[in-house]
């Protein structure tokens, strides 16, 4: 599974037909519905000092992402190893994403980021469109969400998602949304675990919520990663609990993964 973040805030998956609406398609694989990740408890609160990002500066944004990535490594390594689950750090790369990366047809967006499960690699192509507003939380959320897909890969959720049967495009798209929205939720879990160490205000948090809520406005976007209101719902859910147990999108009602 290849997960891509392109444009403003949208996750796209390779090889998917972006058609259809949400229907009730119960997921039966317990590797998804009863993953061991859901019984690991809350992510421990840790400190993660954010480096400053200069508006419009790609180099400073790279330094920022690198620092957040390091915090993610520390937090999830401690959490997963304590629970007896496997852990390995993903490779982090910056720069123009090469054609054919992980078998995917790379888009022409100025800024985009991909997670490749096969090589456990996060590849980030930063353009000025992602760093115009230096004081918002978008970069942190993006880094944490892509890392969430790495966590899902480590614990076997990704493999089970790839193997899940579906009877048509509608069911396939619902599974894609369940997977994508779980990444949003795990990002919220991490954000909660480091929030007290961030020099952030409630206004910053509200601005991120606005970005997420509007992310489903693009044509076809909600079919891939869910409506903006649901992206916001799952991110807030992860943040409210700080616990991966709240991120079980695989048993959620169809309305919550539309």
Instruction: Say if strands 91-94 and 121-125 run parallel, antiparallel, or are unpaired.
Output: parallel
Structure tokens at 60: 């400073």
Dist. CA 146–CA 158, nearest whole Å: 13
Per-residue pLDDT at 225:
81
Q: Which sign, positive or negative, has the C-alpha torsion 1, 180, 57, 71?
A: negative
* Closest to 124 measured CA to CA, from 89, 151, 96: 96
Cβ 209 vs Cβ 138: under 8 Å:
no
For 28-51, the pLDDT digits (tens) are 999 999 999 999 999 999 999 999
According to DSSP H, which parts of the chain are helical? 30-33, 58-82, 138-154, 157-163, 169-194, 202-214, 221-225, 228-241
Per-residue pLDDT at 245:
98
Q: How many CB atoms lie within 10 A of CB 78?
A: 14
Per-residue pLDDT at 6:
52
Structure tokens at 99: 């054609």
Q: How many CB atoms lie within 10 A of CB 117?
A: 20
How would you write the pLDDT of the chain (258 residues) with one tens digit per residue? 446 565 433 333 332 333 344 457 999 999 999 999 999 999 999 999 999 999 999 999 999 999 999 999 999 999 999 999 999 999 999 999 999 899 877 888 899 999 999 999 999 999 988 988 878 899 999 999 999 999 999 999 999 999 999 999 999 999 999 999 999 999 999 999 999 999 999 999 999 999 999 886 665 666 678 999 999 999 999 999 999 999 999 999 999 999
End-to-end CA distance of the chain: 21
Dist. CA 172–CA 25, nearest whole Å: 9
Per-residue pLDDT at 106:
86
* Closest to 144 measured CA to CA, from 235, 213, 79, 219: 235
Annotate 13-60 with three-state secondary structure. Answer: ECCCCCCCCCCCCCCCCHHHHCCHHHHCCCCCCCCCCCCCCCCCCHHH
């Amino acid at each position: 599974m290849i997960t891509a973040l392109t444009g403003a805030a949208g996750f796209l998956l390779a090889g998917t037909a972006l058609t259809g609406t949400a229907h009730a398609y119960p997921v039966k694989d317990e590797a998804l519905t009863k993953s061991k990740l859901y019984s690991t408890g809350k992510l421990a609160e840790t400190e993660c000092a954010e480096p400053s990002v200069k508006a419009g500066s790609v180099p400073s944004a790279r330094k920022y992402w690198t620092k957040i990535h390091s915090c993610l490594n520390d937090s999830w390594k401690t959490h997963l190893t304590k629970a007896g689950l496997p852990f390995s750090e993903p490779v982090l790369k910056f720069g123009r994403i090469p054609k054919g990366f992980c078998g995917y047809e790379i888009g022409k967006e100025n800024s985009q980021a991909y997670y490749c499960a096969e090589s456990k690699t996060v590849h980030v192509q930063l353009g000025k469109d992602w760093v115009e507003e230096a004081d918002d939380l978008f970069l942190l959320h993006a880094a944490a969400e892509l890392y969430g897909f790495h966590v899902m890969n480590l614990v076997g959720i990704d493999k089970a998602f790839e193997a899940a049967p579906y009877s048509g495009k509608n069911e396939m798209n619902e599974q894609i949304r369940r997977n994508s929205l779980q990444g949003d939720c795990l990002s919220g879990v991490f954000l909660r675990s480091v929030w007290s160490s961030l020099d952030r205000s409630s206004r910053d948090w509200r601005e991120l919520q606005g970005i997420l809520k509007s992310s489903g406005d693009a044509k076809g976007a909600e079919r891939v990663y869910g409506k903006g209101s649901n992206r916001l719902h799952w991110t807030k859910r992860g943040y409210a609990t700080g616990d991966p147990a709240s991120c079980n999108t695989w048993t959620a009602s169809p309305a919550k993964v539309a």
